[in-house]
Chains A and B, each alone.
Chain A
Amino acid sequence: MAAVLVADDDIDIRNLVSYKLTHAGHDVIAAENGLAALKSVREHHVDLVLLDVRMPGMSGLDVCRELRADAATRALPVILLTARSQEADVETGFAAGADDYIVKPFSPRELISRVEAVLARLAR
């Protein structure tokens, strides 16, 4: 079981991802924007972060860079959620330090597989 932070400004996506992760046995912390995500990471124990790339204000890429710049969160695994039309963001995402990415629309099953693969890599 891991603590996963889900940051997405789309409430439907937040609810869906939270439901899937919770039913897979993980603890979920939800954030509706980049600033709230950073605040949550600093206030709670988090094992993995799922970040929507395009959020108003602070984007997922900005959050990822902030996490990588802080010694306390540098090693925290990050998975980006990006729309199909924004796949150019993927290259930027990896440059910003993301560990993996998931393209929207996505399959909830694929999402949980990706999350668990990243957590398994972390555990090794």
Chain B
Amino acid sequence: MSSLGLLDVAAGVLAVAGAVLLAVLVGLRVRRQVRQVRAERAAEPHRARLLALLCAEDDERAGILDTLAELDDHSWTALEPVAQVFLGKVTGQASSSLVELFERRGLAERAMSDLGREGRIRRARAAETLGQLRHQAAVGALLPLLRDADPDLRVVAARALGRMGDASAVPALLGALHGRFAVPPSVVVLALTALGPDSQPLVAEGLDASQPLVRAVAVEVLGAVGATAWAPRIALALTTDPHPEVQIRAARALGSLGAPQALEPLLDALGPDRPESLRAVAAGSLGRLGDPGVAGRLGELLGDPVPRVAATAARSMARLGQGGEWELRRVLGGIHGDRAARQAGAALAQAAISKGRARPAGDPTVET
């Protein structure tokens, strides 16, 4: 056979293989769609009952729950994914009703069993389900997953532990921040924040950890959950911790907590020898504390060579109410130079816009 003939044969084989592949792909897609339509049809008669359960008054709830718990397997298989979607969308009695329904249908038991099986997706789904169900018995089984080789599984496990609200998971979550198989800090922060007030003493133990990231996360979580009892300890971290990231998160946390003992450490953090990011965060936190007595010190920062520090200080002054505005007007008058005056003018203009008041004609105070 000539080389031209061989080429023709090869092209023909390729064309047939392509057509077969296309047919298989189309077939799979059609089959999936048909299955989906069938599942939706099977679920349809029970959707209204599911909504009724979510919206039920106390006297109706038990009856609807019984009906759904006793659905035949075919109908339940179709309805279960619909019901699972609502787990993340409702709270209160609606959520409790769903959890009770799933427990009665054996979802938690199946998920517990799936945690130990092969397949990362199956295990991740199981962990997610157990977290949504707040299935306390699963805490012990989820903890080892924080060290799993699969990064997605580690994240799902951390989220699930957070939802469960069991404070005993705190040391493992903090420990998951470092090592070869670590969990991203943002995920750990969210999980620890969700755990509830019982976890605060254990989170605070992280302030003494040798790893700066653990200390930083502990500080951030305590600030986010409003743990005012730990404000003095966080103020100490701002003053004495050797790591700038811990100091920055401590400054931010103190602003969120609004504790009076935060004032002095935050003022110290404004010093020109401190890191720029820390100075900017400290200036912002002083605005959130709301003490007009700091307006003078913030006013001095409006001429700072670091624009971020100056702009944050100006915004903070505007948040301090009349005392802050009065100081901004003084700075606008030029007591700290032209650069500071421009920052003050911008902050006053922004404050006027936020208050929704029109600038009086000829008012020089908001010219920039």
> What residues of chain A lie closer than 8 Å to B354, measured between beta carbons?
95
Per the bound structure, the CA–CA distance linking A104 and B47 in Å amounts to 21
> What residues of chain B lie closer than 8 Å to A23, measured between beta carbons?
55
Given A23-B55, A108-B55, residue A16 in contact with residue B89 (CB < 8 A): yes
Other-chain residue from A12, A19, A110 in contact with B85 (beta carbon distance below 8 A): A12
When C-beta atoms are compared, the residue in chain A nearest to B57 turns out to be A109
Taking a contact as CB atoms under 8 Å apart, the answer to whether B55 and A110 are in contact is no
- Name the prevailing secondary structure of the A interface residues: helix
Taking a contact as CB atoms under 8 Å apart, the answer to whether B52 and A107 are in contact is no
When C-beta atoms are compared, the residue in chain B nearest to A10 turns out to be B89
Contact flags (1/0) for A3-30 with B, using CB distance below 8 Å? 0000000101101100110010000000
Number of A-B contacts (CB under 8 A): 48
> What residues of chain A lie closer than 8 Å to B52, measured between beta carbons?
19
Other-chain residue from B82, B86, B92 in contact with A110 (beta carbon distance below 8 A): B92
Interface set, chain A 61-116, CB cutoff 8 A to B: 95, 104-110
Taking a contact as CB atoms under 8 Å apart, the answer to whether B94 and A108 are in contact is yes
Taking a contact as CB atoms under 8 Å apart, the answer to whether A15 and B89 are in contact is no
Contact flags (1/0) for B255-283 with A, using CB distance below 8 Å? 00000000000000000000000000000
Taking a contact as CB atoms under 8 Å apart, the answer to whether B89 and A12 are in contact is yes
> What residues of chain A lie closer than 8 Å to B30, measured between beta carbons?
none
When C-beta atoms are compared, the residue in chain B nearest to A11 turns out to be B85
Per the bound structure, the CA–CA distance linking A108 and B88 in Å amounts to 13
Taking a contact as CB atoms under 8 Å apart, the answer to whether A105 and B89 are in contact is yes
Interface set, chain A 20-49, CB cutoff 8 A to B: 20, 23
> What residues of chain A lie closer than 8 Å to B86, measured between beta carbons?
12, 16
Q: List chain A positions with a Cβ less than 8 A from chain B.
A: 10, 12-13, 15-16, 19-20, 23, 95, 104-110
> What residues of chain A lie closer than 8 Å to B356, measured between beta carbons?
95
Within 8 Å of chain A (Cβ to Cβ): is B54? yes
Within 8 Å of chain A (Cβ to Cβ): is B90? yes
Other-chain residue from B51, B82, B95 in contact with A105 (beta carbon distance below 8 A): B95
Taking a contact as CB atoms under 8 Å apart, the answer to whether B89 and A13 are in contact is yes
Per the bound structure, the CA–CA distance linking A13 and B90 in Å amounts to 9
Taking a contact as CB atoms under 8 Å apart, the answer to whether B90 and A106 are in contact is yes
Q: List 13 A-B contacts (CB under 8 A).
A: A12-B85, A15-B47, A16-B54, A16-B89, A23-B55, A95-B354, A105-B88, A105-B91, A106-B91, A107-B90, A107-B93, A108-B54, A109-B94
Q: List chain B positions with a Cβ less than 8 A from chain A.
A: 47-48, 51-52, 54-55, 82, 85-86, 88-95, 354, 356
> What residues of chain B lie closer than 8 Å to A110, measured between beta carbons?
91-92
When C-beta atoms are compared, the residue in chain B nearest to A112 turns out to be B55
Per the bound structure, the CA–CA distance linking A20 and B92 in Å amounts to 14
Taking a contact as CB atoms under 8 Å apart, the answer to whether B93 and A15 are in contact is no
Name 5 extra pairs, CB < 8 A, besides A12-B86, A107-B94, A108-B92. A20-B54, A105-B88, A105-B95, A106-B90, A107-B93
Per the bound structure, the CA–CA distance linking A62 and B358 in Å amounts to 22
Q: 3 closest A-B pairs (Cβ-Cβ)? A: A107-B92, A19-B51, A20-B55
Taking a contact as CB atoms under 8 Å apart, the answer to whether A109 and B89 are in contact is no
Other-chain residue from A16, A95, A104, A109 in contact with B92 (beta carbon distance below 8 A): A109
When C-beta atoms are compared, the residue in chain B nearest to A17 turns out to be B55
> What residues of chain B lie closer than 8 Å to A104, measured between beta carbons?
89
> What residues of chain A lie closer than 8 Å to B85, measured between beta carbons?
12
Task: State the Cβ distance, A50 to closest chain B Cβ, in Å.
Answer: 15
> What residues of chain A lie closer than 8 Å to B93, measured between beta carbons?
107, 109
Task: State the Cβ distance, B356 to closest chain A Cβ, in Å.
Answer: 8
Task: State the Cβ distance, A102 to closest chain B Cβ, in Å.
Answer: 11
> What residues of chain A lie closer than 8 Å to B48, measured between beta carbons?
19
Per the bound structure, the CA–CA distance linking A10 and B89 in Å amounts to 10
Other-chain residue from B51, B88, B91, B95 in contact with A16 (beta carbon distance below 8 A): B51
Per the bound structure, the CA–CA distance linking A12 and B84 in Å amounts to 11
The winner among B52, B94, B95 for most chain A CB atoms within 10 A is: B94
Task: State the Cβ distance, A2 to closest chain B Cβ, in Å.
Answer: 17
Task: State the Cβ distance, B137 to closest chain A Cβ, in Å.
Answer: 23
> What residues of chain A lie closer than 8 Å to B91, measured between beta carbons?
105-107, 110
> What residues of chain B lie closer than 8 Å to A15, measured between beta carbons?
47, 51
When C-beta atoms are compared, the residue in chain B nearest to A108 turns out to be B55
Task: State the Cβ distance, A66 to closest chain B Cβ, in Å.
Answer: 17
Per the bound structure, the CA–CA distance linking A20 and B53 in Å amounts to 11
